[in-house]
Amino acid sequence: MAQDLLPLIVEPAELEKYLGKEQLLIVDLSRPETYVQTHVPGAVHIDYPQIVATRAPILGLLPDAAPLSDVLSSIGLIPDSHVVAYDDEGGGRASRLLWTLDTVGHHRYSLLNGGLHAWLNDRHRVSNEPVRKTRSDYAVKFDNSVVADKAYIMDRLRDANVVIVDTRTPAEYRGETKRADRAGHIPGAVNFDWMNAIDQTRGARLKPAEELRRVLTDLGVTPEKEIIVYCQTHHRSAHTYVVLRSLDYPQVRGYPGSWSEWGNSPETLIE
């Protein structure tokens, strides 16, 4: 199955046609109790904490190569696998897995549009049987072209060719909600609450591409710029990362430490 048979954003009806295909690897990042009750047939489960690392107070970091290799091997990932990820909370956790796959050079993947909500709302068949895949030997090698760390951002705060996108709530962005030692936002960052990309009236699917492009363009988030997305732990912003990739933005990076690092670092500048 070639990647172009499944687009980056795949509809539930389209995915159902491919259930059972050998190279298809469906990954459920819902809460464990949800997975036990109902999931897409054939989906393996990853618990979200398995794909993030913590060095308190910094959350949401990339795991080291060895533990990440172990997790990806445990679900049977091989280079030819086309991963379709989903979750039960709007796509943030699923998108974090897809961004993580980008960091290791695995670009054959899709996000299930609307996740489990849309799948259930559209009454597609489900299973409650746990799925175990034959373990693979997936050796992680990181590609930093989709990663922005603190130093990378500090070097580009005044770069007119870089746009930093804060995907937290407006209250977090303005510093009214404090979730680190300091509150506010990265200097120059524009605010695009990640939930603004989601249409709650359509089973948590993405809003139309034309609408998203218009809103982002109005914020100065345009395809010729390098875009860096962040939130508190690069969970919400991972969703925006996938949205931007689906809109053909060629230069997008995620900041894994996000505000849990920036807001707890005494040397960083804050607005």
Residue 231 designated active-site: yes
Q: Which residues contact 223 (CB under 8 A, 6 or more apart)?
A: 247, 248, 249, 250
Q: Pick the catalytic residue: 231, 242, 243, 247? A: 231
- C-alpha Rg value of the chain to the nearest Å: 18
Can you say whether the dihedral through the CA atoms of 145, 148, 151, 155 is positive or negative?
positive
The answer to whether residues 29 and 129 touch, using CB atoms and an 8 Å cutoff, is no
Of 109, 119, 54, 34, which Cα lies nearest the Cα of 77? 109
β-bridge pairing 109-112 and 82-86: parallel
Distances (CA, A) of 244 to 24, 218, 255: 24, 14, 15
β-bridge pairing 162-166 and 190-191: parallel
Among all chains, which residue has been given the structure tokens 């009806």?
13
Q: Which two tokens stand for residue 197?
A: 């990309």
Report which secondary-structure segment, H or E, holds 190: strand 190-191
Catalytic residues: 231
